Chains A and B, each alone.
Chain A
């Protein structure tokens, strides 16, 4: 940007927009605009229409949204249930995956023999697809095979052995933990990258002053990690509010038992494409997507609000 003064003049002299800039921008702007921005905006628009019996969509204003939030028979309870489940899914990842990732990154960023190998191994599940990882866990948790239950019994926790993926009370948390297990490496690497970028003299000075590792972590590293903790939290929020693959792979679109694992995204899928007990309705689906859009927007705004409030330390 700074080095382009002379070229700015050129483009002003030439009156019309320089051709080469258009050539550089066009392919990406066209594909991104057509296949991402347009569908997102158009989906919001479609949420304000409804299909008439003769096939022509009619503008109905907020009717879909009103139905979604007040229809007592099916939609409203499903929506509230999915919303609650998505929040739990997010909370499990936020409260379990995030601190563990931070702990591992803190351990790896100090001098550790074999740190590279640890990183490679702990990150490895993240490169598999969630649908595959979910199936691996379905087999491991199958009472028929009993592998996980053998392990539990071996360490004296046999009482906890239950078909977690089949019970209404445990299915959602189990799915969230599978997802947390799989993607643990990503926040770990983000924290790790931040920690190793802190110059060593800071710790050396603190060590000379007699600070313990514990103090160094909480007084020096943690404040410097705050911006990354914010970013990871936002990513966790965006990623987990759209949890779909793990639920669909193991529980199907019905997200059973009795919708106990239904998230906003499986609810969206069912509303859009229909399923055994719900007829397909793209316009209502668009309204569900619109609702999710607002929920995400609220999270993003909250992030920017909090980030402005919290003092961040820059190196």
Chain B
């Protein structure tokens, strides 16, 4: 390779300048395409948020204008806060998502450690057992799940959602975490064991090493839990246990002709999530990328 390096470079330069105009055109076309899709992705939400702070007249007269002193109006938000309990919905969503995520990470890491670290009878069978859950959507078990939740007296509680989301999130978490776990070098673990550390202590010691993996698992687990409409509807539809998704959905069904309220409810249920997303997007997308490569 090294012998030809210089020749290669010259040849490369010739080739590049030969197709320079084509290169430039492709580049411009590429950016136009990316700009078009970035616009398509963001403009709908932007338009909704923009109009949520305008008077009804202004919403219909000139939807594309920024609000000014004359058209600025928060009446939609007033209706939403009067007629629904978005702060409760937010608390519910946060409580359910974060509790379930913490337990998915904890239990998932424990299983991954056991699967990657010890060879015991049934190890492969257990891997298969967890793999099953990636392929079959948990929603198909709803008939029986509803009975189970009723018999456990958990119906209409946030814990019903948390338990179901943990069960639904574990298969993928175990899958990803086991792969990371099996890459942890054994020297560290063996050194700890020589020093007389218990297996629990060894587990605790290697937790910091697999932190990047927990980022991936969080990125993949949070979105479907936060956005789920099915299980809140089936297991906890009451006003007090509504999540943001269900609460917004029900509110918008009720106020389907009050455009100010509709736009405000949509903004309230998407803007905070988008802010968190933009702040953490780098980690989230890196986590997704890392997760995709593990497949």
Q: Tell me the A residues contacting B by CB distance below 8 Å.
A: 1-4, 7-8, 11, 17-18, 20-21, 23-25, 27-29, 31-32, 34-40, 42-43, 45-46, 100, 103-104, 107-108, 110, 112-113, 116-132, 135-137, 139-140, 144-145, 147, 181, 184-186, 189-190, 192-194, 196-197, 204, 207-208, 210, 212-213, 228, 231, 238, 242, 244-245, 248-249, 265, 268, 272, 282-283, 285-286, 289, 292-293, 296, 300
Q: With A and B bound together, what is the CA distance between A82 and B266 in angstroms?
A: 29
Q: Closest A-chain residue to B37, C-beta based?
A: A122
Is B48's CB within 8 Å of the partner chain A?
yes
CA distance A187 to B130 in the complex (A): 23
Q: Which residues of B contact A265 (CB under 8 A)?
A: 139
Instruction: Label chain B's interface by main secondary structure.
Output: helix
Residues of B within 8 A of A18 (CB): 118, 120
Q: Tell me the smallest distance from the CB of B281 to a CB of chain A, in Å.
A: 5
Enumerate chain B interface residues (CB-CB to A < 8 A).
8, 11-12, 15, 19, 26, 30-31, 33-34, 37-38, 40-42, 44-45, 47-48, 59-60, 63, 103, 106-108, 110-111, 113-114, 116-120, 123, 126, 129-130, 132-133, 135-148, 163-164, 166-168, 170-171, 174, 182, 186, 189-190, 198-200, 203, 223, 226-230, 233, 244-246, 248-249, 252, 259, 262-263, 266, 269-270, 273-274, 277-278, 281-282, 285, 288-290, 292-293, 295
**Alpha-carbon distance A190/B168, docked complex (angstroms):** 21
Q: Is the CB of A129 within 8 A of B110?
A: no
Known contacts A132-B269, A135-B262: does B223 contact A127 (CB below 8 Å)? yes
Residues of B within 8 A of A129 (CB): 226-229, 244-245, 269
Contact B277 A122 (CB under 8 A): no
Identify 14 residue pairs between A and B in the complex whose beta-carbon atoms are under 8 Å apart, listed by A's number: A3-B190, A25-B111, A29-B111, A32-B130, A45-B144, A121-B38, A123-B281, A129-B227, A129-B229, A139-B48, A144-B60, A268-B142, A272-B142, A285-B142
Chain A residues near B230 (CB, 8 Å)? 244-245
Given the known interface contacts A129-B245, A213-B26, the answer about A136 and B44 at a Cβ–Cβ threshold of 8 Å is yes
Tell me, rounded to whole Å, the shortest Cβ–Cβ distance linking B39 to chain A: 8
Check A135–B274 contact: CB distance below 8 A: no
